[in-house]
Amino acid sequence: MSVFCRGQAVLLALACLGAMPLARAELPVKLDGSGRYVYRQDFNTLGAVSRTYDWVDNRTLPGWSLLNFVEQPLVTPTYRADVGDDGSGSFYSYGLEGDANRALGALGSGAAYFGTPAAGALAGYITVAFRNLSGQDLDRIAVRFQGQQWRQGASDNLNTMVFEYGVGEVFGHVNWVRPGKGFDFESPSPLIGTPEGQIVNGRDPLASARLGGSLPTVWPAGTKLWLRWAFLNNHGFDHGLAIDDVEFRAERAPR
């Protein structure tokens, strides 16, 4: 903290804190002139060259965090950029080599990266949080996103990326709702016949799906709403699954 910030007044101290990096920085939601909030995330600021990158919750992508299966930040906070030929357990920035169009995903495993989850158990979560600063309860909420498969694991099982949402201050104390069909992404590879242990182009229409829709909930003013995508350490070799082009909308239904 600078000499200037070692000040006396509380307000001054708060101003100085405001200038420091925010440990928790959920996305602030205020309505525009037409009474709507629209957020879009294309993940295209993520790394695009096949290697490991540092990840910082709420900073690499403001509002976004990567958690392990015990709902804690990663012990080794990194992600890998890859085209889908890497079978290691990790969160991934998936895309063609060097291509700026990225998708954020994961390939589950029982290795240390996710904290050695058991086979068939949760590996980790991708999550994003929003704070309702509109001054009113919002009750017309919708999320849309692409589900994509970028790698076919050597076990051609069905792997499912589960979407859930909920309101709560702390990730571990949210009453999560799973809308299920139309929101969960089921790996298409058993249907498209990719050779096992191979790259899949996740933007191929056969390997992707448009998912999401309305979330029937009331989002009280001042509270925090979370979206999360859960990844398992599936039995055997996991597929690489990802999300892209996330759109989140919130407004108040006409009275």
Could you list the residues that contact Ca ion (CB under 5 A)? 42-44, 101, 233-234, 238, 244
Residue 234 C-beta: closest distance to Ca ion, Å: 5
Alpha carbon 49 to its chain's center:
20
- Between residues 147 and 166, which has the closer beta carbon with respect to Ca ion? 147
- Between residues 134 and 233, which has the closer beta carbon with respect to Ca ion? 233
Residue 238 C-beta: closest distance to Ca ion, Å: 5
State the residue number with the nearest CB to Ca ion.
42
Alpha carbon 122 to its chain's center:
15
- Between residues 117 and 188, which has the closer beta carbon with respect to Ca ion? 117
- Between residues 189 and 234, which has the closer beta carbon with respect to Ca ion? 234
Give the CA distances from residue 154 to residues 117, 118, 200, in Å, rounded to whole numbers and listed in that order. Answer: 19, 18, 12
Residue 36 C-beta: closest distance to Ca ion, Å: 23
- Between residues 42 and 71, which has the closer beta carbon with respect to Ca ion? 42
Look at the chain and count its residues.
Answer: 255
Residue 109 C-beta: closest distance to Ca ion, Å: 5
- Between residues 120 and 172, which has the closer beta carbon with respect to Ca ion? 120
- Which helix (H) or strand (E) element contains residue 189? helix 189-192
Residue 101 C-beta: closest distance to Ca ion, Å: 5
- Which helix (H) or strand (E) element contains residue 167? strand 160-167
- Contact predicate 81/49, CB 8 Å: yes
- Contact predicate 207/201, CB 8 Å: yes
Q: SS in 3 state form for 54-91?
A: ECCCCCCCCCEEEEECCCCECCCCEEEEECCCCCCCEE
Give the span between the Cα atoms of 143 and 141, in whole angstroms: 7
